[in-house]
Amino acid sequence: MGRSFSISALAVALVFQAGCTRDALPRGETEIRWTSYGIPHIRAHDERGLGYGVGYAYARDNLCLLSEEVLTARGERSRYMGREGQSSARLDNLSSDLFFTWLNDEQAVDAFWRAQPEPARQLLAGYVAGFNRYLRDNGAPEACRGAAWVRPLQESDMVRLIHRLMVEGGIGRFAEPLLAATPPAAEASQARIDTRRIQGSVYERGSNAIAVGAERSENGRGLLLGNPHFPWSGALRFYQMHLTIPGQLDVMGAALPGLPVINIGFNRTLAWTHTVDTSGHFTLRRLTLDPKDPQRYLVDGRSYPLRSHEVQVQVREADGQLVTHRQVIHESRYGPLIKWSGVADWDRQHAYAFQDANLANTRALEQWYAMNHAGSVAELRDVVQRIQGIPWVNTLAADQQGQTAYMNVSVVPNLSLKQLHGCVDPALQARGLPGLDGSRSECDWQNAEGAVQPGIVPGGQLPVLLRRDFVQNANDSAWMSNPAQPLTGFSPLVSREGSALGLRARFALAQLAAQDPQPITAPFLKGLVSGERVHAADLLLDDLLQWCAALKPGSEFERACVAMQQWDRTASTQAGLGWLYFQGFAKSFIQAGQGWRQPFDPRDPLHTPSGIDWHSPAVANAVAERLRKAMAQVDALKLPADVTWGQLQAVERPGSEQPGQRIPIPGGDGHLGVYNAIQSVPQADGRLKVVSGSSYIQLVGFDDQGPVAQGLLAFSQSSDPASRHAADQTELFSRQAWQPLPFTEQQIDADPHLEVLRLKE
């Protein structure tokens, strides 16, 4: 195919003929060059122009998505869609509106905006102007055309989106408990808390990352695999782009909706990625209520009033009328009160407050923009520790000189070991929640010299590991980023040591060890993802098949045992019934935490736990029961004997003339050690809907000239089903056909599908 060029009717645009030399970009203009698969390469002279291009390009691909997420962040879903239905976070419209109206009130939005440095403000202002320009010139796509909630953006909308992102690792997961918090006298009924939504947000956000240094790479330079596992829709859906301000900035990668900066990516001399961390970013405070007045609470014997804040949202009823819904949010000096029946009850003696460290984090946009400019691992470490705006993820990086880094530097409450021993609420601790006594000020978060905000651990005191062989993370703590140099001695709120590693980390570390002394290459790292290996099978299947072999002929388990024997131990699209039987069994076995032949040994975390102690009669009986249940689950689907994983786990092909055409999706449950982690949920027809997992994938090395990058965006650039870029990269992901990422001028200009547009505001 030849190159195509598009010009909006009202755009001031200059179009270049294929093969001609590009002119210098005039002042005040923004250039967007789209290459294959709809990746925009945006060039401008300043931040406003850069943001303008990002907003315009993003609107072309995801106008409906961003408009709806802005509607959510504004707390206006019920006004336009009624109280029924759900947001992309699976929260009902009314609850979502109440929560975000509270979170993003006028005071919070104004304070966040005022805290932004001027470059960040210009990026956001430009983004808004560019998005609005596209909407004005082209209108909304068919998917949301005519919807009253599709409106021009304001700078405050961008602030609301970023503020929402900050609390995704904290109070954002506890919207329902916050809204359920009513005084005991006001109880009408017990509010039902959907714990699946709270826990599901954890399962939907993971990541793998490996940074290889000079001592293990093939050419003595850095090499980075970034494989974030994020939602395939909604407010956390990544978008690829390339941002350039000549002489100042040249960075490529992916960003979350509404962000005019690169979150995960690379520039000429540095590549970095993120993995969701295990650090605590909030604590619960058990308040002791004043016996004289249950609307007050005691701290050091002194009585303080609970503050009441009424939230109002507009709700469109079935008859089209708008009514006002009011709800009171109760707050303490620590934060809002929550109520979770049986976990954090509000009775006449106690109540529970939620203290989220990221509610005061206004630095994320500044942080990522500074990272975009960093030229080396050393510079990256400096800006990450100094600004400390990363909310709830680790950072891993490799540079052109062969240095690598793992940084568990985010926003974490500062509590001493003495406080953690003397202030912890045992009941909450037993449930895995960080709970503290709220009646003693000695249990308050500590202010420390060098901290960028009160009550958090300073960036220079958080785990950082610099290596020239490798560092890795797969959502475990900092402890085993590199087994040759364990990171120990940190607060358990920051990093836990001596705990069993996840199976993805064990898989990666085993493969890296097996590769030694051979160099770690780009094809090797790609194979960790594209090989679709199920590491749980490496640990369990041999023993399970031995248990099968000991059964009498004609056993009820024979067909499952035969299928597992024939299975190739992968979650590829061609995997058959053996994979289905095994994953049902393995999930149950691993969750139970019992029956291992070699239990976990903190002295050998890379190899334990492993095996099945099937010679034990009790364990053998448990194996039978677990496999019986797994078989029943598979049998209930009434699948043909030759069914493949790709027939079950697939996504609809947008715009297909033949309804029901689907794209097979490889990968599986990351908790079973599938590096290409994919989370899918059963549908009524027995098929599986992909909701999260591998998203933006980048594999970046360096040569003397700069980065050599490949990758893809698993769910493609556009959420508009009518777009030609709604599934083109999904087809690639189905085959694990990673593509070169065009970064240099020569690579961009040589793209066979190049499309160029110049805009003037």
CATH number at 257 reads: 3.60.20.10
Residue 62 forms part of a structural domain? no
Q: Please tell me whether residues 524 and 399 are part of one structural domain.
A: yes
Residue 380 forms part of a structural domain? yes
Name the 3-class secondary structure at 393.
strand
Q: Specify whether the CB–CB gap between 48 and 126 falls below 8 A.
A: yes
Q: Please tell me whether residues 396 and 487 are part of one structural domain.
A: yes
577-587 per-position pLDDT tens digit: 999 999 999 99
Q: Is residue 659 predicted with pLDDT exceeding 80? A: no
Residue 636 forms part of a structural domain? yes
Residue 716 region, left (φ>0) first, then alpha (ψ -120 to 50), else beta? left
Question: Where in the sequence is the domain holding 603, given as residue range(s)?
Answer: 537-646
Q: Token pair of 471, please?
A: 């560092």
pLDDT in the model for residue 23: 66
Q: Please tell me whether residues 399 and 518 are part of one structural domain.
A: yes
Residue 402 region, left (φ>0) first, then alpha (ψ -120 to 50), else beta? left
pLDDT in the model for residue 189: 44
| Helix, strand, coil percent content, the chain, rounded in steps of 5 | 35, 25, 40
Residue 340 forms part of a structural domain? no
Burial of 559 (0-12, 13-18, 19+ CB in 10 A): middle
Q: Specify whether the CB–CB gap between 531 and 506 falls below 8 A.
A: no
Number of domain units in the chain = 2
Taking Cα atoms as reference points, which of 102, 643, 671, 651 lies closest to residue 331?
102
Name the 3-class secondary structure at 134.
helix
Q: Please tell me whether residues 480 and 557 are part of one structural domain.
A: no
Taking Cα atoms as reference points, which of 587, 693, 629, 645 lies closest to residue 276?
693
One-letter identity of residue 637? L
Q: Is residue 32 predicted with pLDDT exceeding 60? A: yes
Q: Please tell me whether residues 633 and 486 are part of one structural domain.
A: no
The secondary structure element, H or E, covering residue 60 is helix 47-73
232-290 per-position pLDDT tens digit: 999 999 999 999 999 999 999 999 999 999 999 999 999 999 999 999 999 999 999 99
Catalytic-labelled residue, pool 67, 95, 96, 207: 207
Q: Measured between alpha carbons, how far is residue 101 from residues 170, 327, 329 in Å?
A: 17, 11, 11
Query: The pTM is what?
Result: 0.95
Q: Please tell me whether residues 491 and 599 are part of one structural domain.
A: no
Which residues make Cβ contacts (< 8 Å) with residue 272, sequence separation at least 6?
224, 226, 264, 265, 266, 371, 380, 395, 396, 397, 398
In this structure, the strands spanning 393-399 and 404-407 are: antiparallel
Q: Report DSSP letters for 325-369, one per residue.
A: EEEEEEE-SSSBEE-BTTTB---SSEEEEEEEGGGG---HHHHHH
Q: Pick the last residue of a domain from 464, 499, 529.
A: 529
Q: Is residue 757 predicted with pLDDT exceeding 60? A: yes
Please indicate whether residue 207 is annotated as part of the active site: yes
d(CA 631, CA 591): 18
pLDDT in the model for residue 198: 55
In this structure, the strands spanning 282-290 and 435-437 are: parallel
Residue 588 forms part of a structural domain? yes
Q: Please tell me whether residues 491 and 557 are part of one structural domain.
A: no
372-399 per-position pLDDT tens digit: 999 999 999 999 999 999 999 999 999 9
Q: Is residue 715 predicted with pLDDT exceeding 70? A: yes
Q: Pick the last residue of a domain from 529, 545, 566.
A: 529
Q: Please tell me whether residues 510 and 626 are part of one structural domain.
A: no
Q: Please tell me whether residues 517 and 549 are part of one structural domain.
A: no
Taking Cα atoms as reference points, which of 705, 560, 538, 701 lies closest to residue 630?
560
Terminal CA-to-CA distance of the chain, rounded, Å?
31
Q: Is residue 500 predicted with pLDDT exceeding 90? A: yes
CATH of the domain at 567: 1.10.1400.10
Q: Is residue 188 predicted with pLDDT exceeding 70? A: no
Q: Pick the last residue of a domain from 529, 554, 581.
A: 529
Furthest C-alpha separation in the chain: 82
One-letter identity of residue 20? C
d(CA 497, CA 506): 15
Residue 746 forms part of a structural domain? no
Q: Please tell me whether residues 563 and 520 are part of one structural domain.
A: no
d(CA 63, CA 69): 10
Q: Please tell me whether residues 214 and 235 are part of one structural domain.
A: yes
Q: Please tell me whether residues 403 and 491 are part of one structural domain.
A: yes
